[in-house]
Amino acid sequence: MPPGAGSVIVVVATDAPLLPGQCKALARRVTLGLARTGTTGSHFSGDLFLAFSTANPSALTSTFPENDGSAPYESMRFVPWGRMDPFYGAVVESVEEAVLNVLTGAEPMTGRAGHHVPALPLDRVTELLAARGAVS
C-alpha cells in the first residue's frame, strides 16, 4: 500500500436542530479540522464524512395524507443559516481534537507480516513544542 493510502471516516452527530443541507455543510468542515493536524489527504485515501442531527424526531414524517381534518403542513425548528458559524467552528475543533487524541493515545503495535508501527514519542513532541514556545 502506498504511503498515505489510509482512509478517514468521520461522523459528526449533533442534537442541534439542523436541516439536511446544514448537516452537509458541517460535514464539509471536517477537512479543516484534519488540515489543522497536518494531513493533506492523498489520491489513494478513501475519506468519508457524514453529519446528522437527532433533533426534530417527528418532523418530516412523509406519511400518506389522511382526510381526518389534521393540519396539511408539518413544522420543524432549525438553526437559521446565519447562525451556523459556531457550529462550523465546533466541527473543526472537535475533529482536530479527535485526531490529536488518537495520535497521543496510540500504543506501538506489530501487525500482519511483522509490520511494526511505533507510538508517537510524546516526550520528544513535548520537547519540540516547548522549543517553539507552544508549551511551557
For 32-89, what is each residue's pLDDT tens digit? 999 998 887 888 888 999 999 999 887 766 667 677 766 677 788 999 999 999 999 9
Cell 418532523, residue?
59
Q: Is 68 exposed, middle or buried (0-12, 13-18, 19+ CB in 10 A)?
A: exposed
Mean pLDDT of the chain: 88
Question: What's this model's pTM, rounded to 2 decimal places?
Answer: 0.80
> Which pLDDT tens digit goes with each residue over 7-34?
899 999 999 999 999 999 999 999 999 9
Task: Please tell me which residue, 116 or 65, carries the higher pLDDT value.
Answer: 116
Residue 53 is among the residues annotated as catalytic for this protein? no
- Annotation marks residue 85 as catalytic: no
Assess whether 47 carries a catalytic annotation. yes
pLDDT for the residue 4? 62
CA–CA separation, 106 and 128 (whole Å): 19
Element (H, E) at 28: helix 20-28
DSSP code at position 33: H
